[in-house]
Amino acid sequence: MLSEFLQYLFTGITIGATYALIALGFTLIYNASHVINFAQGEFLMIGGMTTVSLTGMGVPMPLAIVLAVLLAGVFGILLQRFAIAPAKQADVVTLIIITIGASIFIRGLAQLVWGKEYHVMPNFSRDEPIRIFGAVLNSQSLWVLGVGAVLVVALVLFFTRTLIGKAILATSMNKQAARLVGIRTQLVLMLAFMVSALLGSIAGVVVAPITFTSYDIGIMLGLKGFVAAAIGGLGSGVGAVVGGLLLGVVEAMTAGYVSSDYKDAVAFSMILVVLFFMPRGLFGAKVVERV
Amino acid sequence: MLNRFMQSRLRGLMVLAVILFSLPVFLSNPFHYELATQMAIIAGTVVGLNLLVGFAGQISLGHAGFFGLGAYFTGIMTGHYGWSAIPALVVGAILVGLIAWIVGRPILRLKGHYLSMATLAVGFIIAIIINNERQLTGGPDGMPVPVFDVFGWELSPFGTYSLFGIELNGSEAWYLFAAAVLLVAVWLAQNLIDSPIGRALRSVHGSEVAARVVGVNTARYKSLVFVISAVYASVMGGLYAHFQGFITPAVASFDFSIVLITMVVLGGMGSTMGVILGAVVLKLLPQILTHFQEMEAVMFGLILMLTMIFMPKGLLPTLQMAVSKRLKRRAGGQQ
Amino acid sequence: MLKTLLRCAGKFVAIAAAGLVMSAQAAEPIRIGSFLSVTGPASFLGDPELKTLQMYVDKINKDGGVLGRPLELVHYDDVGNASSARNFASRLIRSDQVDIIVGGSTTGATMASVPLVEQAKIPFISLAGAVVITTPVKHWVFKTPQSDRMAAERILADMKARGFTRIGLISGTGGFGSSGRTQTLEVAKNMGMEVVADETYSGSDTDMTAQLTNIRNTDGVQAILNFGFGQGPAIVTRNYAQLGIKLPFYQSHGVASDSFLKLAGKAAEGLRLPASPLLVPDSLPDSDPQKAVVQNYKSEYEARWNAKVSTFGGYAYDGLMLAVKAIEAAGTTDHEAVRKALENIHGYVGVTGEFTMGPDDHNGLDADSFRILEVQNGDWKLIN
């Protein structure tokens, strides 16, 4: 049945594009600092919730979105400056725990400020879904895909064409050497967190019409984003996108053809299989271990 | 001097025993005993996890999966099939060890964050299965677990017992039992650490490549310690199930995995006494923070962050360093 | 450095100890204990429940208390975690020494605390839904919400009356949805109906189109039922509308609140669900004894909290009022006397329904206390 298959595919791509957007944020911070930022989901939440609450106060949507994204950027800088930078000697796990603490903290704040309710954000364009060969596609999904594509291209350009982008890459490859050639690595890291927060919050705004938004939306989406990033290979932009889409499509196909009870289990098994054959994910760079 | 005393493992064990068995002086009602019992059981789990994380340097974000498996296996065998608790715990531990060995071989080849990802996935799969198999596990609403028994002799948190002529209520008896179990768990862990296996493990932590070059079979040691830490989790999970009398899939959840790893890191990776302190602190904190009402999450996150930023080595190692530094300075001043 | 650290630690321990042993003195007030899921995934249950308890404890105290003694509410947030619910139940019983417990937002939290409550012999009024809480009857455990079994019965009866016997079921994998699914399967069998499609989604899913497509493509489905709570059912409703499914659509009482209407928007148009009359106080006939109670609760709650009233807060209202009634009837806070008095509650008209307890019925409601509502023009409409 073509329409059935198409429907599952559309569903999968919609979910997958969401994951991909979040995974990109992980990728960016990982590239710059080799930190897995478990507070990444909170940027998403800040984006969505700020937009909703500002529009609720009568601020026009485009302005609300810009303000929300800026606020998330500020949080990104604060996170790097006050939580990650002071702990520079810390272990990988310690850094993970710090970002988990940060995410609990930010979520707690959000709950105080915005309450616990779920909120609706209207679709950017029309409400009616698009029909193709008997399958339907939410118009917002196109926005998610489109914004995702634009962000990927922008990121590629950022890293290859701009001085700041190159500085971030240089810092990630060798901090010492980067400092020697005159890169202010602290500033660069702060920038990386900010850009990642911007990415995350844009994702949060774009997906909010599909997923709703609330103070705790970042937990589940953040986790799925991490999973997508790991499948694709940490640090790879293409990997993040492919990983996200793959994860979404596998979830939807399993729910459609196999068992909705076990769709998450199948998705997690897929990770194990991928990592079994490709221990650095699909597109992860081969890193030579220093002894 | 004090420093050497604190680092000596056997004395560490003795200090722990003294603390554990003098603690009842400060416990004034069954609720306190219950909390202390849970702390001891969770601490036992964390001591096992620390072997993996602190000594072998392998991160697990799915350890609650093994804890949950142990809890549910015991719960199901004693509840549905009328097994006695001890065989259920033992068979459960063997099965969980087997499962850990099977999944451990392939995933322990992974490094760093990929290993975390894989353990996270394993934990999630276990939690999903427990959640979905309603017939056996009662599904998301959980299942009751019978009272702990040793071939007919029952240890219930609500019974009354006498030990050397002293009357004990059920919570006190359970606390003493759990404290004894924790001591055994720590003793076993320390023996392992001091054995050649332990040295091999630490070499894996230091540099896996170097360890391999000097002829250490790193894969074997890693999967061995993975199995051991899973067995720890399984046994403690089983005890926890009996003590609580009711379990839900939350015991196998990702959240709980995060709690466990946080205890290890917060208390001090690689320090057995440290991770026990970590378990105590993290178990106590929510009880204290209830006074902050809706500020609870904010406070918790803040405390967690600040502790890890300013004490990246963990609570106990940082304290020990501070003590020894001060002692050294004082000694220097006197001369 | 160390000294300050130690001092800090000392202070910390002191506060902790004070916190743990605080209370225990002052026997004067009647202590009502509560553990609720005020935050976490079930916060839409716990939040209105806590607000209701706080507001009515204040109100009762202003009116002179119970038996001439003020009420004191001791409450903890279990974050939706059954283990911490059990710990807080223990703390309420052993440390705070409350006289009665009104709480337990979710079935998991309630059931985890039941063994303890039964041992400690203290009356416990649960605010959670599943039928297992009071069937079989547990000596010390009561509950105020209708069971999920009643919801299933009410929904399936309405379906049958409209001539639908082949159902497509989609449910959440959380406690509420999972238990509701089990009950629906059983009730359907008893009523000679058939569940021809059976799909689930997890609480964190953001799109259920695949599951709904499966149901739609199953042969002979006449009506679809979604058993679940949280934001999931709102997403299901929206996906339902997007797919253009024309079959009659039912939800459970898990979404019986105005916030669901806000989330689901136009997509909710035409769906039916069983709910307490709280959502349609003004449509009730004047002869309905519940009308006044429901109107009062709604207006008081909305005035006090500046938020829409929800069915779940109503459970807490009934729980507290039942407790107060029982303590008044018993004339004491003696546990056994209060428990007996609870069992003897007869014809108490609450927000949720009319309660008549008995030694073999610790819920006291029947399926008729659910009203079937339909969403029309973005609002609830009473069907029967």
Q: Judge whether C83 is closer than 8 Å to chain B, CB to CB.
A: yes
The CATH number of domain C29-146+296-368 is 3.20.20.70: no
Give the DSSP letter string of B13-48.
HHHHHHHHHHGGGG--SHHHHHHHHHHHHHHHHHHH
Structural domain harbouring A193: 2-277
pLDDT at C14 over 80: no
Amino acid (one-letter) located at B177: F
**Predicted local confidence at residue C25, as pLDDT:** 41
CB B297 to CB A226 under 8 A? Answer: no
Task: Flag whether pLDDT at B332 surpasses 80.
Answer: no
Other Cβ atoms within 10 Å of C359 Cβ, number: 10
The residues that bridge with C199 in the sheet, in sequence order, are C170
Contacts of B37 in chain C (CB under 8 A): none
Count the neighbouring beta carbons within 10 Å of the beta carbon of residue A57.
8
CA A130-A135-A140 angle, to 5 degrees, is 35
Identify whether A155 is part of a domain. Answer: yes
Q: Which residues of C touch A216 (CB under 8 A)?
A: 40-41
Contacts of B303 in chain A (CB under 8 A): 101
Which pLDDT does position C184 carry in this prediction? 95
- The angle subtended at Cα A254 by Cα A253 and Cα A255, nearest 5°, is 90
The reported pLDDT for the residue numbered B7 is 56
Question: In the prediction, which pLDDT does B62 show?
Answer: 94
> Which pLDDT value is given to residue B9?
64
Q: What is the pLDDT of residue B176?
A: 92
What's the DSSP call for residue C223? E
Given this chain, do its domains C29-146+296-368 and C149-275 carry the same CATH topology?
yes
Cα–Cα distance measured from residue A135 to residue C210, given in angstroms and rounded to the nearest whole number = 11
How high is the pLDDT of residue A176?
Answer: 81
Residue A98 one-letter amino acid: I
Domain spans of chain C, in order of start: 29-146+296-368, 149-275
Q: Residue A286 gets which letter from DSSP?
A: P
The domain in which residue B60 lies consists of 2-330
Q: Is residue A197's pLDDT more than 60?
A: yes
In a domain, B335, yes or no: no
Residues on chain A touching B302 (C-beta within 8 angstroms)? 101, 105
Mean pLDDT of C279-304: 90
What is d(CA B161, CA B138) in angstroms, rounded to the nearest whole number? 32
Instruction: State the pLDDT at residue C26.
Output: 43
Q: Do B141 and C15 touch (CB under 8 A)?
A: no
Neighbours of chain C (3+ CB pairs under 8 A): A, B
- Whether residue C6 is predicted with pLDDT greater than 60 in this model: the reply is no
> Rounded to the nearest 10 degrees, what angle do helices C175-190 and C148-161 cross at?
50
pLDDT for position A290: 47
Q: What is the count of residue pairs from B and C with beta carbons less than 8 Å apart? A: 100
The mean pLDDT of A175-200, rounded to a whole number, is 87
For residue C200, give the nearest of A15, A216, A261 by CB distance.
A261
* ipTM score assigned to the predicted complex: 0.89
pLDDT over threshold 50, residue C369: yes
Q: For chain A, how many structural domains are there in total? A: 1
Q: Do B323 and C2 make contact, defined as CB atoms within 8 angstroms? A: yes
Report the alpha-carbon distance of residue A201 to residue A52 in Å, rounded.
12
Give the other-Cβ count within 10 Å of B10's Cβ.
Answer: 10
B-chain residues near C199 (CB < 8 A): none
Chain position carrying tokens 């337990």: C104
Mean pLDDT, all residues of chain B:
88
Alpha carbon distance C101, C292 (integer Å): 27
Q: Do the domain assignments include residue A228?
A: yes
Q: If contacts are CB pairs under 8 Å, which of residues 102-131 in chain A contact chain B?
A: 102-109, 111-112
What is C149-275's CATH topology?
Rossmann fold (3.40.50)
Alpha-carbon separation of residue A241 from A119, A148, C3, C59 (angstroms): 27, 8, 52, 56
Residue A287 lies in a domain: no
Q: Is the residue at A226 inside a domain?
A: yes
Which residue among B107, B112, B264 places its CB closest to the CB of A272? B107
In a domain, A174, yes or no: yes
Q: How many independent structural domains does chain B possess?
A: 1
